[in-house]
Amino acid sequence: LDADQAALVRGAWDKVKHSEVEILAAVFTAYPDIQAKFPKFAGKDLASVKGSADFALHATRIVSFISEVLALAGNSATAPAIETLVTELANNHKNRGVTKDQFTEFRTALTNYVSAHAPWGDNVAAAFNQAFDNVYATIFARL
Ligand code: HEM
């Protein structure tokens, strides 16, 4: 991402990043197969786990990871640091049997959530898509 694109994505993300639990709940609602991969949440009603400390903890981990990557975006000097973080994420998730299709589902759900809860326009959408394309190129090469 160039600096302008990174600023657009961060601007949208800043509007939703405090809604960690709602974001993860939206992902699980849209794609129960993702919820089923989590040992702590598999086979349970979303309503029964959504208020738990485990749910909040995992939601915060995901959101914090994305915030960490976005803080590094838009600067070629920090591109290698992003690559390292994303490669580690890809390897961890490969080891859990997460598929490309599930990563694509996650992308769809997250994009739907952010586009519905942050100011959105063609320029934001394009920057957001570019960010996912970049990160997913690294992830898909390892799954
Ligand atoms: C764990 C982020 C997509 C399933 C984690 C962790 C982070 C994270 C930060 C905790 C650190 C770790 O153990 O690796 C993300 C991000 C995603 C993503 C940023 C998309 C870009 C997915 C998808 C699935 C998934 C699509 C399942 C279909 C899991 C599971 C764990 C995990 C099962 C372990 C939970 C546990 O410790 O019990 N994820 N994840 N993730 N993720 Fe993801």
- Kindly list the structural domains of the chain, giving each domain's residue range(s) and its CATH number in brackets, ordered by start: 3-140 (1.10.490.10)
- Per-residue pLDDT band for 126 (boundaries 50, 70, 90) equals very high
Residue with tokens 């299709």: 101
Give the count of alpha carbons within 13 A of 37, CB side only. 16
> What local confidence, expressed as pLDDT, does residue 51 receive?
97
d(CA 39, CA 42): 6
Q: Give me ligand 1 centre to Cα 2, in Å.
A: 27
Q: Measure Cα distances from 36 to 39, 46, 80, 82 in Å.
A: 7, 11, 33, 28
Q: What pLDDT is attached to residue 26?
A: 98
What are the tens digits of pLDDT across the range 5-44? 999 999 999 999 999 999 999 999 999 999 999 999 999 9
Q: Give the pLDDT score at 20.
A: 98
Residue 109's closest CA among 87, 132, 139?
Answer: 132
* Residue positions counted in the chain: 143
| pLDDT tens, position by position, 53-109 | 999 999 999 999 999 999 999 999 999 999 999 999 999 999 999 999 999 999 999
Which mutation among 64, 70, 89, 108 tests ligand 1's pocket best, with the greatest number of atoms within 8 A of CB?
Answer: 89
Atom 3 of ligand 1, nearest CA residue: 103
Task: Read off the tokens for 81.
Answer: 């640091």
ipTM exceeding cut-off 0.95 for this assembly: no
Pocket test for ligand 1, best of 16, 20, 58 (most atoms within 8 A of CB): 58
Cα 120 to averaged position of ligand 1 atoms, centre (Å)? 26
Q: Which atom of ligand 1 is nearest to the CA of 69?
A: 19
